[in-house]
Amino acid sequence: MPKVLIPTPLRQFTGKQDAVAVPGATVGEALNALTAQFPELRKQIFNDEGKVRSFVNVYLNDEDVRYLGKDATAAKDDDTISLVPSIAGGRR
């Protein structure tokens, strides 16, 4: 099963786990399995249309899935999916 790395701000929704192994042949299936297991996480990752939120970057191993097959990108058992929320702010 692919492993999904959970960033610190989202760990409150996964029982403080930093990684979760989930079933899925694609990135989209894996993320759906993750949010089925942790329903509170769904609104943090997906918008109302079921698409990954624009400020959440998803990587398969070290590749941005936006430049691969997006949520249809194939995922193998030994793959790592990373969720990287964008962070904005700061001073000029």
> Domain tally for the chain?
1
Q: What distance in Å separates the CA atoms of residue 36 and residue 40, rounded to the nearest whole number?
A: 9
- Could you tell me the residue range of the domain that residue 78 belongs to? 3-85
Q: What percent of the chain has pLDDT over 70?
A: 95
92: in domain: no
Model confidence at 87: pLDDT above 90:
no
Residue 41: give its domain's CATH number.
3.10.20.30
Burial group, residue 27, by CB count within 10 angstroms (0-12, 13-18, 19+): buried
90: in domain: no
- pLDDT: which is higher, 81 or 92: 81
86 — pLDDT class (breaks 50, 70, 90): confident
Give the pLDDT confidence score for residue 77 in this predicted structure: 94
33: in domain: yes
- pLDDT: which is higher, 89 or 58: 58
Give the pLDDT confidence score for residue 88 in this predicted structure: 64
pTM metric for this prediction: 0.89
Helix (H, G, I), strand (E, B) or coil at 72: helix
